[in-house]
Structure 1
């Protein structure tokens, strides 16, 4: 196992800030101080108080203190405690060479690393998170963990910090624009209001209303965000009037409940009251979704006799308008998402209506059908779109699979988990696929072909994860069950999987007759998926198992052409990559490079970070090493390594390929020396996938902020890059002052201009460079000066 490195060489996976971070100076200092003395710090507080945002900002500020990275593990959408360790491994980019990246494997991996893990939203998984945190902290002396949860983990050594609401103007505070700026809640309200209404300004006339709103919302960031969203349809005074009236109705609430929780509930109650009966019903039903949803799913899961499918589109539009759900992303299909606190509210209403189980059943059925459709149409022009759809629906798939393995028939659960075989493999979710297959296979065993399919898919995953004994045992069970069932196309997959197990173990001669047997059966059945899969591995086995690599060319070319004829992408890319490996072994370096580049071109159609991209970067690196283009070879190896880590995959399970990789690394270290090799390799890991593909294809890097150029140091090249980004001379001066840590007021004093003028320069700089914070500007400048 190994860890991943994000683009530009910054270890970790913290997302960029897309909105300004307001206040929390004292809390940030507290987190830094507590992490200096305690290895586990938990941020507690009410939902919506801003724990997640505070933790992420603290992580950004502390990146330099953790050379091996700050890693965010998002748990809000996870429901199965057994998947906590898997989710942490995925966030870290752990490469799956073992059966499962559980607690012991993670502990061994992190033992020598100086890392900060952020476990975000743990309250519903507090037991599993506590157990994992305790295991990791006992084994990893340099590890720190920062947790956000509505309750503490309650394990030894834990320090807790209760996150309070933002500061609020007191009833006697001077109500002036300058006076309001001293309060965090007012600053947040004004900034978010400006985003909704670009012409919004703080004036003497609205100061009192802003102050009263902050008091009524009690400084809760989420409450402020939700309330300000209403500025699209209401004035500040109308919002205040409605909120004030609503809170008066809640004075008889539970005395032991914090006032801020009552306030947040009141805000959501208000949204509920603003909805029609049909909107409320759909709101509650959509709460069964996790991680977002698309319209076709809403129409299927949310509709019934009381809520016809043809009304769902208008109801969704109404819920978007009322800020109950929001449209997210800019993909070809509209996607919608609820805030977690809004979703939980809807779930409670769904339970009150007695509809929870029925809607969960429909939700499971919808995603089981999506999985079946994607499996049946894998070989089609829809492949790329289906791959993206399953990726986007990962959280929903987990919820639906949980229902399937706990409440549905065994055949449903088995078929559902097995139909996602391409999702588990192409996306690199091997351990998660194994988890769901194991749970489905543990259900009362039906004598049905769905079980045979689940067994052979589980055997294939075990093979890829280097668990050969388990793979053979699973396949033996599949074979035994198949013998007592009526004939089925599934029977052809058994020799295919058996051949893969042999080939991965280096037994090419044993694999060949098994592949030939499978190919004949698939052709009789007209199974394009089976035929392409078999042709690709048959060609690879023929080329790797004998003295003549060209023996594998015909099968690989046949697979490539068959895939191209049917609009299929994955096997076409894989077969073309395999062709590049065999051409390289045959001494045809130009032909190998051409095939690897063709594989990259085709692979980009499915995903930016998919398995065949890593394979093609590897084979191009081997070609470059043979041609003694050593620096380029090392960079490509590093780029391939980053893709493996992002995909949670490796070459370790394929004995022959791992040998080629190790030979290339050894040769490059001898010729370059360890230091030069490591530096070039590291440069490769710092490339994004798009940049790595552009490098491999000898094309310009994607457009964006000017990238560093090797050997271009000093002040003049940096200033030239800033000029290229469109910054004026004065704005370039401001960049330098930002990098020195000066505030807007200090910049204004240094340049002898008004503070408002300095603020305008800063906003222009952020816009032109595509950044959202001053820290990014300072980091960008430091990076370019270092290069």
Structure 2
């Protein structure tokens, strides 16, 4: 028996015998080379100077340093140093040499037969795993070609469960030699080898590593090292020793970070899939996601069972999202769902660390979320803990620069932050994504809640939040700088989620410890994010909060108030509709803009006021404001102002009934095809390109070009949806696309546009335009059911609608309004649908009980024809001709009816599949036959 053997890789050095063995085969080496190897191996990891090596190998002899280099070279050749990436001896220039491979020192006799008998065993999971089929298949496949694979992921993600399922799968495939080693209970890294020996049922009477190596040599087996993170150095060293010494051994490890030993491959275990953030998901839709499946299965088998229903589907989906698809958190939540109730559970997850405590009794660190996170937190160095805690102020993903900006403070340098981020990512406390070439980090929500608690306790919360607000302000400035140059999709991909960090920064800014001026600035500069992310209600609160602070500090009358008033006017319009409150906000903004000569803001305010006057039917005031816009554009040479002035003029001409001029201006705008979108600070306007095309489509339809109009409005809707400007999209749908579909009689297209308008207005909280979606839906449903819309009361409060909205209804269904409700000005004819108003009154007269109703009706139809001809409104002219011809036919005057209808119908060159032209063709044939 040899008492002083040194094992490394496939080699065994026996100093007392002056022998080096490789897999049991003796390697011929000179005595001096063996002497040098012995001293290096015995002091493995430490530096041995050249003088020390000379004294050990050539005692009492004076030799040159070159002799050492010759012997070391011979050693490296014998050890195959450098081949296949393996390194044993490294030189430190001018100092000496270092042996860097793991060493095992014990009483080994490679000549004795192995006497230990290994008892192999497998552990199967107690429950089938939900949502892990792909992970198990991937891991099993990789274990077939990798000698060492580490399953990496945050605590509670199910690494142990997946590893055990992989063991069971391998056993089913015929691999029986598997050993599971639970390292989670160890509190001393030096006990790792003993734990492996114990799991293998090997006798222990001394140093366990030689016993393990002797038992495993010649075996073909898989060793599973579970929960390595707290003993990671010892586990990595021993794993590497096993791989080097026992060629038939494979290793599967689980850890919150990679072991970083030679030959290791890594499989990062993802969370379970969670439902997307939708307004009203169905029970069927959400059960397709593995996180929901796990929650449902555990909730159904809990003490007070809970099932997923259509009523609670949205709440369940929200719970699964809040818990990041983390299996442990989902199981803990499901266990108390029946006791607490889903609504209370969802609303109480802010205190999830204390709330979710019904965990597995068999694993102490999994009994609560807090215990699981304490396990990871306690393994961190102090400065890494400080960085983790500071990063909890982020509400969404961040870059390394963001981490530095927030976490660098007294006692924590930039270098410390970089090192900490790398370590936190390695230990799965930070989730890492890739955006182009930049690494993007984020905290799982449960980790963020835990780290926030620690940050509060540390006393550094206010400083971290202040630095976070400064960083958000810098990010918004960078986003504004790239607004025009970047593609909109790319811009939103990079900056869209920033609105969540803006919210967090504003919470701090308007708190007693915060800085209100910073909050006001952030409220203004973040406007595109709130509007593009459909958060008008929340933004209304922030704008009002900022205005109140501004006025309270006597800082009104400047740029800040102007921008806030513009935002307020925009919000009032979309939530409450046109009216005095909207006008008040925009007039105040205009007053300040004029005093500061701010042309972009003047343009926005004047445009909004012109639009308000136009929909109210005050054409002189609207035209006066249009002229003001035109003057602004001409004086400044501003393309954006000129574009909005031209579009507003075209729209005002259209509403006045000057269709020819509206078409001329509109076609010139579309022909230029100059995509002049709003600047970053003026996002309250509609997109000029899409709005101009949609408005022109209405003009073209009324002028008799239905096919061209429908094609144009389809393109405008598609482009507005892609442009992430919800106010533009909803304006186009409500004022152009839905009416065009109704006018054309295309029920399928109308249903599509109504659905889109309803979903967009609901998602964006556009209450005013949501009213239009409801009215359109009522008309469509009544027509589908065959209800006489003209004689029904399907739209309540119709007489309270503003001028333009009533005009839209008249153009869609003349019988919806009657008498004074049709118009509220004496100038009926000064309107884009003046002819339709007159025809509607004629149709109402026909339905009345008056004795001369036909005479009165026909007089109104003739008047409608005259107005339509004067305006060039061929579509309205055809409708008036159909009404008059039908009346003449009933009056036994088929020849007169034919003469009225035929010349109008002959002037059409397109739109022959629209309802009006089809009806006119049928009526004309009937008149021709009866004549």
- What TM-score, normalized to structure 1? 0.51
Runs of at least 4 residues off by over 6 Å: 5-9, 29-33, 75-78, 329-333, 565-569
Pick aligned residue for 1:421 from 521, 524, 527? 527
Farther-moved stretch of structure 1 (286-295 vs 11-20): 11-20
Distance 1:324 1:304 in 2: 21
Number of aligned residue pairs: 483
What's the secondary structure of 1:148's corresponding residue?
helix
Query: Which of 413, 431, 446 in structure 1 is aligned with 2:555?
Result: 446
Instruction: State the 1:333 CA deviation.
Output: 6.4
Pick one of 558, 583, 591 that aligns with 2:700: 583
d(CA) in 1 for partners of 2:300 and 2:700?
56
Aligned partners of 1:493, 1:484: CA distance in 2, in Å? Answer: 15
Q: Find the aligned partners of 2:591 and 2:525 in 1 and give their Cα distance.
A: 21
- Which of 566, 591, 605 aligns to 1:456? It is 566
Q: Give the C-alpha shift of residue 512 in structure 1.
A: 3.1
Partner of 1:267: 375
| Structure 1 residues 146 and 586, CA gap change in structure 2 (3 angstroms) | farther
Q: Is the 2:396–2:501 Cα contact (8 Å) retained in structure 1?
A: yes
Give, in angstroms, the shift of residue 434 of structure 1.
Answer: 1.3
Q: Distance in 2 between matches of 1:614 and 1:326?
A: 37
The answer to whether the Cα contact below 8 Å between 1:482 and 1:491 also exists between their aligned partners in 2 is yes
Among 322, 332, 337, the residue aligned to 2:427: 322
Task: Report the Cα distance in structure 2 between the residues aligned to 1:13 and 1:436, rounded to whole angstroms.
Answer: 34
| CA spacing shift, 1:309–1:162, aligned 2, 3 Å | closer
Structure with higher Rg: it is: 2
Residue of structure 2 in register with 1:251 after alignment: none
Structure 1 position 623, deviation (Å): 3.5
8 Å Cα contact 1:363/1:400 also seen in 2: yes
Once the two structures are superposed, residues 376-411 of structure 1 have per-residue CA deviations (whole angstroms, 9 ceiling, x without a partner) of 654443443333444312321111122233455554
Q: Who is 1:364 aligned against?
A: 469
Cα offset, 1:361, TM superposition: 1.9
SS in 2 for 1:292: coil
Aligned to 1:199: none
2:814 alignment partner in structure 1: none
- Counterparts of 2:611 and 2:303, CA distance in 1: 51
Say what the alpha-carbon RMSD is for the aligned residues.
4.8
Q: Is the 8 Å Cα contact of residues 698 and 709 (structure 2) preserved in structure 1?
A: yes
2: CA distance between counterparts of 1:163 and 1:300?
Answer: 33
Question: Which whole-Å CA distance do the structure 1 matches of 2:314 and 2:320 have between them?
Answer: 19
Alignment of 1:172-571 (within 5 A): 214-220=362-368, 222=369, 261=370, 263-270=371-378, 273-275=379-381, 277=383, 279-303=384-408, 315-327=420-432, 334-351=439-456, 354-375=459-480, 378-406=483-511, 410-443=516-549, 444-447=553-556, 448-466=558-576, 468-479=579-590, 481=592, 490-522=601-633, 524-525=635-636, 530-548=641-659, 551=662, 554=665, 558=669, 561=672, 563-564=674-675, 570-571=687-688
Q: Which secondary structure does the structure 1 equivalent of 2:441 belong to?
A: strand
Q: Do residues 597 (structure 1) and 714 (structure 2) align?
A: yes
CA contact (8 A) 2:676 2:688 kept: no
Q: Is the 8 A contact 2:663 2:699 kept in 1?
A: yes
CA displacement 1:198-229 (0-9 Å, x = unmatched):
xxxxxxxxxxxxxxxx4223444x5xxxxxxx
Cα deviation per residue 1:562-616 (whole Å; 9 max; x = unaligned)? 6437899944333333333333343322222222232244335434x94545555
Structure 1 CA distance, aligned partners of 2:745 and 2:641?
A: 39
Deviation at 1:450, TM superposition (A): 1.6
Q: Any residues of structure 2 matched to 1:90-101 within 5 Å, and which?
A: none
1: CA distance, partners of 2:671 / 2:303: 55
Contact 2:403 2:417 in 1 (8 A): yes
Does the Cα contact within 8 Å between 2:292 and 2:317 map onto a contact in 1?
Answer: no
Q: Contact 2:562 / 2:593 at 8 angstroms: preserved in 1?
A: yes
- Please report how far the alpha carbon of residue 461 of structure 1 lies from its aligned counterpart in structure 2 after TM superposition: 1.6
**1:47-126 aligned within 5 A:** 61-63=308-310, 70=314
Q: CA contact under 8 A between 1:380 and 1:567: conserved in structure 2?
A: no
Alpha-carbon shift at residue 441 of structure 1 (Å): 0.8
Give CA-to-partner distance per residue, 1:638-687, whole Å, 9 cap, x none. 23322332333356389xxx49x957963673365379xxxxxxxxxxxx
Provide, for residues 341-378 of structure 1, a one-character-per-residue CA deviation record: whole Å limited to 9, x for no partner.
42234334444554332332222122234334545654
Of residues 465-474 and 444-453 in structure 1, the stretch that sits farther from structure 2 once superposed is 465-474
Separation in 2 of the partners of 1:596 and 1:376?
Answer: 32
Q: Work out the CA distance in 1 between the residues paired with 2:584 and 2:394.
A: 36
Kindly report which structure 2 residues correspond to 1:736-751, keeping only aligned pairs within 5 A, or say none: none
Q: Does 1:17 align with 2:210?
A: no
Distance 1:275 1:335, change over 3 A: same
Structure 1 gaps, min length 5: 34-57, 79-119, 122-142, 154-160, 169-213, 223-260, 676-787
Query: Under a length normalisation based on structure 2, what TM-score does the superposition of the two structures give?
Result: 0.44
Contact kept, 8 Å, 1:415 with 1:451, in 2: the verdict is no
* Cα contact 1:512–1:538 (8 A) shared by 2: yes
Q: Distance in 1 between matches of 2:415 and 2:677?
A: 34
